[in-house]
């Protein structure tokens, strides 16, 4: 079990700072679901854009949209800028 898996349960809604894979300087906050990973039984994944991403410490996952916005503003600047 990954360290981050201990903090989440399947069905939980989380917020992820997601970088556009085609334009690396573009990032946004997306709502995602924590689910059981269909490719790795017994592990959790984040379901985002019809894709399962293994739940790891490398993902910027937040429990609330407000937390995600605070982190986004810290790393990328205010959304209004």
What pTM did the predictor assign?
A: 0.82
The reply to whether 64 falls in a domain is yes
Per-residue pLDDT of the chain (81 residues; tens, 9 = 90+): 454 556 899 999 999 998 877 887 788 999 999 999 999 999 999 999 999 999 988 889 999 999 999 999 998 887 655
> What is the residue range of 33's domain?
3-73
Q: Is residue 21 part of a domain?
A: yes
* Number of domains comprising the chain: 1
Is 16 part of any domain?
Answer: yes
On whether residue 81 sits in a domain, the answer given is no
Contact 79, 66 (CB under 8 A): no
Q: For the chain, how many helices (H) and strands (E)?
A: 1, 5
Residue 80 lies in a domain: no
User: Is 15 in contact with 32 (CB distance < 8 Å)?
Assistant: yes
């Amino acid at each position: 079990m990954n360290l981050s898996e201990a903090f989440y349960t399947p069905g939980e809604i989380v917020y992820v700072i997601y970088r556009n894979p085609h334009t690396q300087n573009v990032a946004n906050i997306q709502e995602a679901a924590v689910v059981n990973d269909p490719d790795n039984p017994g592990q959790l994944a984040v379901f985002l854009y019809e894709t399962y991403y293994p739940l790891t410490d490398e993902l910027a996952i937040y429990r609330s949209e407000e937390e995600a916005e605070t982190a986004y503003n810290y790393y990328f600047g205010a959304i209004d800028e």
